[in-house]
Structure 1
Amino acid sequence: MEKAKMIVDKDFRVSEIDERIYGSFIEHLGRAVYGGVYEPDHPEADEQGFRKDVINLVKELNVPIVRYPGGNMVSAYNWEDGIGPKEERPRRLELAWRTIETNEVGTNEFMDWAKLVNSEVMMAVNLGTRGIDAARNFIEYCNHPGGTYYSDLRRKHGYEKPHQIKTWCLGNEMDGPWQVGHKTAEEYGRLALETAKVMRLVDPTIELVACGSSHSGMPTFPQYEATTLEHTYDAIDYISLHQYYGNASNDTANYLAKSMDMEHFIKTIISTCDYIKAKKRSKKTINLSFDEWNVWYHSNQQDRELEPWTIAPPQLEDVYNFEDALLVGSMLMTFLRNSDRVKIACMAQLVNVIAPIMTENGGKAWKQTIFYPYAHVSAFGRGVALAPVVSSPKYDSKDFTDVPYVDSVAVYNEEQEAVTIFAVNRYLEQPIELNADVRSFEDYEILEHIVLENDDLKAVNTATSQKVQPHSYGVSALRNGFVEAKLSKASWNVIRLGKKR
C-alpha cells in the first residue's frame, strides 16, 4: 500500500476562515428560482410559495451568503421589475438565457427567503445596460432607512426596515463578449469606479466586488484585472474570480488534478492585486471573491436543444456523479489553503442549475453527489485554516505533473477544541495509508472518520436512488500523537478530532 505523511500543527496558520467562503448563488436562470426555491403550487410550499423541502436542504448546507440575482441575467435586468404588487410586474424577455422572466420573485421576496435559510444576500447591480443612476436608486431602496423616494417606496411595499445588504457586486463577467453590455477593461474600470463612489455615498458601510476575468482562459486574463484595479483599487474590497471544470474527455486522473489549475488561478490573481498595490504605493490589500465555481459540462448538449422564450425551462441541469464530488472536495480545500486572501466563494449554483440540490416540479427534492463535500466543509471547516506539511506519492496526467495522490488541508476550531483533516485520495487503483503528526493537539481523540466512496466513479443520485452517500466507519486511529488512517481508493475523507472530555 502507498503511504503518505503529513504534519498538522496548530501554529501552522493560514488564516481565520471567513465563513462566506461557503456561500452559494441563485440566478434567475432555468429552474433555480421557479421550480427550485419557489413553487407556490407545490405541496411543500409555504405561504409565500417557497418550497420548505428545499429550505431544509439549504439549511443543512449552512450557507452564509447567497449571490443574487445573477450572473449573466443581471446585465440586462431592471431591478424595478421585481418590486411592488406581483400582478403589476411586467413579463420580460430575459436576454442572457433567452427565456421569459415573470418577475414573480424579486428583491424583497428573495430577502425573505434568505432569512428563512439563515443567509445574507450578496446583491449584484446591472452594469451592462444600466449603470450609476440605477445602482444608486437600488441601494437607496434596499439600505436607506426612510424619508426619501426609494426608501419610502420599499416601506410602501411592506418592508419598513432596510434590508441592510452589506456585499454588492459591480456587474458580472463584463470581460465576456457574450455579456449584454460587454465592456473593455478601461470602459468597465471607469464605470465601476464611478458606480462604487455613488453607492458608498448612499451607504458608506458596504463592501464592493469588482469583476475580474470570467475564467482563466480568457485572452485578456490577467490584464483585465490589472486595468480594472488601476481604476477601482481605492474604491473596492474584492476582485471576483469565476471558474468551472469538466471531464468531457473522460480522463479521471487528469480531471481530479484540475484543482491545481484553480490554485494557479488564485495565485495569479493575488499577484496581480499585489502588483497594483505596489504600483499605487497602497497599504490596502484587495481580497478575492471566487463567486462562481463548480463542475459544469454534463448538460451542455441538452441545453443546445432547448426552445427559446419559455418560462423556467430545465437549463444547466448537470446530474453529478461520484468523481465530480471528489473534485468539488479538492476545490473547497483549495479555498481553505488560500483563505488568507479568498474571503468569499459561491458555489454556482444552489438549486437545479449546476447545483448540489435537485428538485422535481411538484415532486421530490434530493441531494446530488456534490452536496456532501460542500456540507462537510461548511459544517467542520469553521475556524482557522492550517497549512499541513504533506508528503505524498505523486503522478503525472495529461495536463499536470507531480500531482499529489493525497490532497489535504486541516482546520482548527479553537473555541470548540476541534481539528478536522479533510483529504481526497486521488489514487484510482488502491487505498493509501496516511500518517498524520498531530502532536501539537494534546489529549485529543478521533471523533469520527467520514468517507464518501463508490466503486463506480460515474454513480449518480436521483429522486429515487441515492447511490452516493457518506458513511462514518472510516478506518483510522490516534496513537501517541499520530493519526493512522486508511484513505480508500478514490475517496473523500473527513477525519474529526476533538479534545478528550
Structure 2
Amino acid sequence: MACNKVKMVIDKEFRIAEIDERIYGSFIEHLGRAVYDGIYSPEHPTADEHGFRNDVKEMIKELNVPIIRYPGGNFVSSFNWEDSVGPVSERPRRLELAWKSIEENKVGLNEFTKWARSAGSDVMMAVNLGTRGIADACNILEYCNHPGNTKYSDLRISHGYKEPHNIKTWCLGNEMDGPWQLGHKTMEEYGRLAEETARAMKIIDPSIELVSCGSSSLTMPTFPDWEAVTLQHTYDYVDYVSMHQYYGNGKGDSEDFLACSDDMDQFIRTVIATCDYVKAKKRGKKDIKISFDEWNVWYHSNAADNDITENHPWQVAPPMLEDIYNFEDALLVGLMLITLLKHADRVKMACLAQLVNVIAPIMTEAGGGAVWKQTIFYPFMHASAFGRGTALLPVISSPKFDTATHADVTAVEAVSVYNEEKDEVTIFAVNRSIKDDAEMTIDVRSFEGYRILEHIVLESDDLLAENGPFNEKVAPKQTSQSSLDGGMVTSLLHKASWNVIRLGK
C-alpha cells in the first residue's frame, strides 16, 4: 500500500474568522417520524410530563446544537400556524400537502419552542410564503415576540405563555425556487414578496435577523440568477441568504462521492460572489451572510419515500426519509463540515438536516423503542465539541487525483480551529483516498509549548458499515498515530478516515 505525503501549515495569525456557533445548527420538520415517534412519544418510558423523550433529548445535548430550524422545510409552505397553538384537544387534523401525510398538531409552535430551549437550542422559525404571505408572517411574529396588549400577543398569553418567545431568526419561506414547492414562485415574484414581508416584520421587531431564500441546490437551472435577482429586492432588509445541498452515492462510486465536498465549496464561493455583486450594484455597505440551513447525505430512502407518498398517502407520521447511514456517508459529512468551517467568514449558520429519524444522526426504533447513533453522528459531534473558536486558514500540499466527475481532488482535506480561551487548537482531517494511507506533517510552530492532547479517529475496513440499535459498528476511538517534535506534528491518517487531532498546553 502506498502512503501519500501531505504537508499542512497552521498559524494562529492566519485567521479566517471567528466561528459562529450556529454553524452547528440542525433542523426538525413535521415530516415522517421526526416529531411524532421521534422527539415526542408520550407512551415511551423516558417521556417527560409533556410527552417528549428524555433519552432522545440527552443525545441531542451531546451534539450541542445551538439552533434548530422549524417547522420546515416543504411542510411550511402549507402550514397554518394557528392550527398548532391553543388547547391540543381543539386543534384540527389537517391534510399535509408537501408529504401527503396527516398532521394532528399535537406538537405545535409553543410546545416545540419550549422543548428546544430545554434541549439547549434556540429556534430558527420559517414563515409560510407559499400558500400565505405578509399578513400571516406578521401575525406569527406578533404572537411569538410581542410582549402583550395586542390581538396575537394576548392570544399567546391566553395559551399559557405570558413571556414572549423572542425568536430572533426567521426564514422567509423555503425553497421557493423549486417547482415541487407549494406556492413556487419566479425570481421576481419571490423577491417582491420577500422584500415586503421582511420590511413589515422588521417594523414589528427590528431586532430579528432574516434569511432570504436562496437556491435549493447547485444544480437548479435558475442558479445563480435566483440569488442575483431576489437579493436585489431583499438586500436592504435581510441578513442571510439560504443554501441547501444534499449528496448521494447512487452510482456506487465511493471516490467520486467523497469528492462532492468540492462541489459544495464551489457552490459557496459562487453564492458569495453573487452576494457581493448585489452589494456592489446596490452600493451597499453590508455583506450578506450565508445560512446553509439544509445539508446532509440523502439518497438511501428515495424509493421507499416515493412508495409512501404515491401508494400509501395520508398516514400519520409514516416512516419517511429514514436513511440508514454507512461509514462513507460519515466521511462525507466530515468533509462537508470542513468545507463550512473554511468559509466561516461568510457561513454563519448551518443546519444539518435533519436531527431525529428523518435523514438524521439520531434514530429511534419504530413504536417507541431504543434510540441510537448513526455513523454521521460522530463527525458532527466532534466538530460541535472542538470546532468553536477561530477558523484558521489551512495551507495544504496534498497529492491529487481525478474521479468520474471531479478533477484535482486532494487526497486529504483539513481545517484547524484555534480556541484561544482554552489555549487549544484542533485539526479536523479526512483522508478521502480509499486506497492509500497518508503521512501528514503539520507545522504548528506558532503554538509554542503545545502538546498532543489526543488523536481521535473514525475508520472502518468496510465503507458500507452501518450502525443500528445495540449494534454500533462505526464508532470513534483513540489512537497514538500522532507525534509532536520541534513544532512539527506527524500524523498517520489511515485510508478513508475522519481524524480529530487536538493540541494544547
Same fold (TM over 0.5): yes
Specify which of 427, 432, 435 is matched with residue 438 of structure 2. Answer: 432
Q: CA deviation at 1:464?
A: 2.5
**Structure 1 CA distance, aligned partners of 2:41 and 2:205?**
34
**Structure 2 CA distance, aligned partners of 1:279 and 1:388?**
32
Matching of residue 268 in structure 1 with residue 270 in structure 2: yes
Q: Aligned partner of 2:354: which letter?
A: Q
Matched residue, 1:356: 361
Q: CA deviation at 1:403?
A: 0.6
Q: CA deviation at 1:331?
A: 0.1
Matched residue, 2:240: 238
Q: Aligned partner of 1:190: which letter?
A: R
Matching of residue 143 in structure 1 with residue 149 in structure 2: no
Matched residue, 2:467: 461
Secondary structure of the corresponding residue to residue 60 of structure 1 = helix
Matched residue, 2:194: 192
**Structure 2 CA distance, aligned partners of 1:388 and 1:225?**
29
Specify which of 165, 168, 174 is matched with residue 176 of structure 2. Answer: 174
Matched residue, 1:300: 302
Q: CA deviation at 1:362?
A: 1.7
Q: Aligned partner of 1:171: which letter?
A: G
Matching of residue 389 in structure 1 with residue 395 in structure 2: yes
Specify which of 340, 348, 353 is matched with residue 343 of structure 1. Answer: 348
Secondary structure of the corresponding residue to residue 4 of structure 1 = strand
Matched residue, 2:67: 65
Query: For residues 252-294 of structure 1, what are the alpha-carbon distances to aligned partners after superposition, in whole Å with 9 as ceiling and x for unaligned?
Result: 0000000000000000000000001011111111010000000
Q: Aligned partner of 1:342: which letter?
A: V
Q: CA deviation at 1:115?
A: 1.2
**Structure 1 CA distance, aligned partners of 2:408 and 2:219?**
22
**Structure 1 CA distance, aligned partners of 2:161 and 2:480?**
50
Matched residue, 2:203: 201
Matched residue, 2:418: 412
**Structure 2 CA distance, aligned partners of 1:96 and 1:55?**
27
Q: Aligned partner of 1:375: which letter?
A: M
**Structure 2 CA distance, aligned partners of 1:430 and 1:128?**
49
Matched residue, 2:334: 329
Q: CA deviation at 1:474?
A: 4.1
The answer for unaligned runs of 5 or more in structure 1 is none
**Structure 1 CA distance, aligned partners of 2:78 and 2:323?**
25
Where in structure 2 are the equivalents of 1:120-139 lying within 5 Å? 120-139=122-141
- Whether the 8 Å contact between 1:422 and 1:493 is mirrored in structure 2 is yes
Q: Aligned partner of 1:364: which letter?
A: A
- The TM-score with structure 1 as length reference comes to 0.99
Matched residue, 2:39: 37
Q: CA deviation at 1:45?
A: 0.6
Q: CA deviation at 1:303?
A: 1.1
Query: For residues 292-335 of structure 1, what are the alpha-carbon distances to aligned partners after superposition, in whole Å with 9 as ceiling and x for unaligned?
Result: 00000000111122110000000000000000000000000100
Secondary structure of the corresponding residue to residue 315 of structure 2 = coil
Secondary structure of the corresponding residue to residue 268 of structure 2 = helix
Secondary structure of the corresponding residue to residue 472 of structure 1 = strand
Matching of residue 249 in structure 1 with residue 251 in structure 2: yes
Q: CA deviation at 1:400?
A: 0.9
- Whether the 8 Å contact between 1:451 and 1:474 is mirrored in structure 2 is no
Q: Aligned partner of 1:267: which letter?
A: R
- Whether the 8 Å contact between 1:21 and 1:342 is mirrored in structure 2 is yes
Query: For residues 126-183 of structure 1, what are the alpha-carbon distances to aligned partners after superposition, in whole Å with 9 as ceiling and x for unaligned?
Result: 0001001001110000000111111111111111100000000000000011100000
**Structure 2 CA distance, aligned partners of 1:153 and 1:2?**
64
Percent identity over paired residues: 67
Moved over 3 A (4+): none
Specify which of 19, 22, 25 is matched with residue 21 of structure 2. Answer: 19
Matching of residue 485 in structure 1 with residue 491 in structure 2: yes
Q: CA deviation at 1:124?
A: 0.3
Q: Aligned partner of 1:398: which letter?
A: A
**Structure 2 CA distance, aligned partners of 1:59 and 1:380?**
15
**Structure 2 CA distance, aligned partners of 1:5 and 1:271?**
29
**Structure 1 CA distance, aligned partners of 2:113 and 2:100?**
25
Q: Aligned partner of 1:407: which letter?
A: E
Q: CA deviation at 1:79?
A: 0.3
Specify which of 112, 115, 122 is matched with residue 113 of structure 1. Answer: 115
Q: CA deviation at 1:369?
A: 0.2
Specify which of 434, 437, 450 is matched with residue 444 of structure 1. Answer: 450
**Structure 1 CA distance, aligned partners of 2:123 and 2:478?**
33
- The TM-score with structure 2 as length reference comes to 0.98
**Structure 2 CA distance, aligned partners of 1:418 and 1:77?**
45
Secondary structure of the corresponding residue to residue 143 of structure 2 = helix
The answer for unaligned runs of 5 or more in structure 2 is none
**Structure 1 CA distance, aligned partners of 2:443 and 2:205?**
49
- Whether the 8 Å contact between 1:122 and 1:165 is mirrored in structure 2 is yes
**Structure 1 CA distance, aligned partners of 2:342 and 2:299?**
26
Where in structure 2 are the equivalents of 1:465-476 lying within 5 Å? 465-476=471-482
Where in structure 2 are the equivalents of 1:77-116 lying within 5 Å? 77-116=79-118
Q: CA deviation at 1:430?
A: 2.6
**Structure 2 CA distance, aligned partners of 1:41 and 1:90?**
22
Secondary structure of the corresponding residue to residue 459 of structure 1 = coil
User: Once superposed, what is the RMSD of the aligned Cα atoms?
Assistant: 0.6
Secondary structure of the corresponding residue to residue 497 of structure 1 = strand
**Structure 2 CA distance, aligned partners of 1:464 and 1:14?**
41
**Mean Cα displacement is larger for which, 424-433 or 265-274?**
424-433
- Whether the 8 Å contact between 1:77 and 1:126 is mirrored in structure 2 is yes
Q: CA deviation at 1:216?
A: 1.0
**Structure 2 CA distance, aligned partners of 1:209 and 1:225?**
12
Q: CA deviation at 1:218?
A: 0.7
- Whether the 8 Å contact between 1:394 and 1:404 is mirrored in structure 2 is yes
Matched residue, 2:12: 10
Q: CA deviation at 1:217?
A: 0.6
